[in-house]
Structure 1
Amino acid sequence: MTLLSKLRVGIVGAGIMGRGHAEVLAAHPHAEITAVASRTREHAEELAGRVGAAVHLDYQELLASGTVDAVSITTPDHLHADVMVAAAEAGVHILVEKPFTTTVADADRALAAIRRAGVVAMCLFNHRWVPAYAQAKDQMPLLGEAVVGYARKNDTIHVPTEMIGWADRTTCAWFLSSHDIDLVTWLFDDEVVEVFATARHGKLRAMGVDTPDAMQIQARFSRGATATFESAWIYPNTFPTMVDSYVTVVGEDGVVQLDRQRENIQLATDKGYTYPRNMLQRVVHGIPAGAYRDAIEHFVHCARTGTEPLITVESSRHVTAVLAAAHESARTGLPVKVAGRD
């Protein structure tokens, strides 16, 4: 494949994540944001004006414009699949926010369209670029065969009630545990074959947001290891970080623990005591930095060179299958097998 001197990127979705992608892409020397599409025209115009891009009414118009080599899909979780299929059929490379999709059927049709078209595609599971997590991957041989893992990712109630307006169309597990399932399956170098899950409803429903307060997933891997994935998004807003994130992996010969609550900085003011986040997203001397930027820059490199990304669409499809099985298990109260690929 011919090296693209500059990757022309269209952003589909101009919300919080769209603005995050734009910040990184606008600072990249080999990327250019040429188009923005959003269901909210005001948001699209604001973001496009900031980066000097054209505004389109929808993703179909954006793809038909002929002005993009790649799309960055930052729509709500349940709206990813149609955009991916259309982009693949247009021969456009794809960067999509996590989760890949929220149904196995959508994941399968997106994966098929991507592989049929031969475009580069990556789901933005940016945790693989967090330095401690990447170092843990390198150290996994010292731990021996994986035995058990635990990962929690819990948010303050600000997230489902104020930060996103579509919490009732997703769950804390789709929104949070998708990251951890990708991370732990990568660390274990294995896939989940069966899950048992429970969900608790109450607080958020009482506030008019029909989504679980918390979910817990017990996962069995193909080589016998097990892992627990916990997600909740009802922490009080007084908690010192918006996200409480912790991972531990136990192997036959060792253990690794990864605690991201305190990220090397503490801040006390008359308004409270906090641990500002800096591993995923930070700005250093005016330049975006962190795992989030590193993951997006990896995609840009892969799209420009035709290289397969570190995160394959097959592995991202597996995360969707695990979560789909978990939600079915929570609904039925029974263990559920994870759907494999045909």
Structure 2
Amino acid sequence: MPQLGVGIVGAGIMGRAHASVLAEHPATRVVAVTSRTRDSAEKLAVEYDASVHPDVAALVADADVDIVVVATPDHLHAETVCAAAEAGKHVLVEKPFTTDPGDAERAVAAVRQAGVKAMTLFNHRWVPAYAQAQARIAAGDIGRPRVAYARKNDTRYVPTRMIPWADRTTCAWFLSSHDIDLVCWMFDDQVETVYASAVDGVLRGLGVDTPDAIQAQCRFRGGGVATFESCWTYPDTFPTMTDSFVEVIGERGVIHLDRKCEQIEIATEDAYQYPRNLLLRTVHGVPAGAVRDAIWHLVDCVRHDREPLVTLESSRHVTAVLAAIHRSIASGRPEAV
């Protein structure tokens, strides 16, 4: 089978990560790049001898492109997914799928109408401990899951320096999207109602117009409940950029998943750190980790005509839950999903 051509939309942190992973897959090659700034697109394209296109329309019209990677800021995903699908291209889109339920409906419809493969990169499903937990829950080892708590809190570095578009999203869209996908997968259920609150002040004082932290209480259709916490104001002295923890309580057992420290601690004269390595790492010069495994999964689904593990319908539900969370913050009342 000839190699599949990949077009990258967005040449930032995740666009570059996607490109490095796909360049290592024996069945894919990066052939095209477009980004909001031509300079960033050219810098990425030159690494892979890829073409640079002025916009998304030109990239999806490129006959050499078979798969489109959408690695743009959160609020810009939907239009690119629709354009790619309508052009007959397979799609891998960064999380969250979209930031508007109506956009999610349009994107799902475009993909299903075109008959292409598409997946949101909820890469946490490929973290070994999370996958093991889901398998144990599905096997009935802890009984029916009834309660969950999921925390994903970042240092201030993320909204103030890592992503320049933090004021166009929130910590919940950026962080809790992963956890909502995970808990829905582990519960094998969907959220019915939410009640959420936000606090602000620190980030707005630093010139970033977005909440500091959000907590959401969610009730599932089957009667279970879950709390999702996200925060963007940990001090940069915290030993890891992301404090991540998931607890699932079943009728006959409990599972704890603590990713604050990923098996390594390093102390130098300058800092004490927990380096991250489960999602994306380089081992002996080759990309590895959950991000790599999830991306390769989509490629293999395209090659072998299989349906991805993460369905667009499940990703659409995550968008609907997050939209309800933000409506609840605004209204001060519980909101239906």
TM-score range, shorter chain: over 0.9
Instruction: Give the counterpart of 1:55 among 52, 56, 63.
Output: 52
One-letter amino acid matched to 2:318: V
2:98 is the alignment partner of 1:113: no
Q: Distance in 2 between matches of 1:303 and 1:5?
A: 13
TM-score (normalizing by structure 2): 0.99
Residue 8 of structure 1 aligns with which residue?
A: 5
4+ residue runs over 4 A deviation: none
Residue 266 of structure 1 aligns with which residue?
A: 265
Residue 172 of structure 2 aligns with which residue?
A: 173
Gaps (5+ residues) in structure 2?
none
Instruction: Give the counterpart of 2:61 among 60, 64, 67.
Output: 64
Q: Distance in 2 between matches of 1:277 and 1:232?
A: 18
Residue 309 of structure 2 aligns with which residue?
A: 310
Q: Distance in 2 between matches of 1:25 and 1:7?
A: 10
Q: Secondary structure at the match of 1:330?
A: helix
Structure 1 residue 5, shift from structure 2 partner: 3.2
Instruction: Give the counterpart of 1:95 among 92, 96, 100.
Output: 92
2:122 is the alignment partner of 1:125: yes
Q: Distance in 2 between matches of 1:30 and 1:5?
A: 7
Structure 1 residue 52, shift from structure 2 partner: 1.2
One-letter amino acid matched to 1:123: T
Structure 1 residue 51, shift from structure 2 partner: 1.2
Q: Distance in 1 between matches of 2:264 and 2:207?
A: 36
Structure 1 residue 306, shift from structure 2 partner: 2.0
1:68-217 equivalences under 5 Å are 68-140=65-137, 141-217=140-216
Q: Distance in 2 between matches of 1:172 and 1:24?
A: 26
Structure 1 residue 66, shift from structure 2 partner: 1.3
Amino-acid identity (%): 63
Structure 1 residue 61, shift from structure 2 partner: 0.6
Contact 1:5–1:304 (8 Å) recurs in 2: no
Q: Secondary structure at the match of 1:142?
A: coil
Residue 319 of structure 2 aligns with which residue?
A: 320
Residue 37 of structure 1 aligns with which residue?
A: 34
Across the two proteins, how many residue pairs are aligned to each other?
Answer: 335
Please say which of residues 8-17 and 61-70 is displaced more in the overlay: 61-70
Residue 228 of structure 1 aligns with which residue?
A: 227
Q: Distance in 1 between matches of 2:242 and 2:333?
A: 30
Q: Distance in 2 between matches of 1:251 and 1:65?
A: 50
TM-score (normalizing by structure 1): 0.97
Q: Distance in 2 between matches of 1:108 and 1:172?
A: 23
Q: Distance in 2 between matches of 1:72 and 1:49?
A: 17
Structure 1 residue 161, shift from structure 2 partner: 0.3
Structure 1 residue 174, shift from structure 2 partner: 0.1
Residue 276 of structure 1 aligns with which residue?
A: 275
Q: Distance in 2 between matches of 1:320 and 1:336?
A: 14
Structure 1 residue 67, shift from structure 2 partner: 1.5
Question: Alpha-carbon deviations, 1:233-272, whole Å to 9, x = none?
Answer: 1000000000000000000010000000111111111110
Structure 1 residue 54, shift from structure 2 partner: 0.4
Q: Distance in 2 between matches of 1:292 and 1:69?
A: 20
One-letter amino acid matched to 2:234: Y
Q: Secondary structure at the match of 2:275?
A: coil
Gaps (5+ residues) in structure 1?
none
Residue 246 of structure 1 aligns with which residue?
A: 245
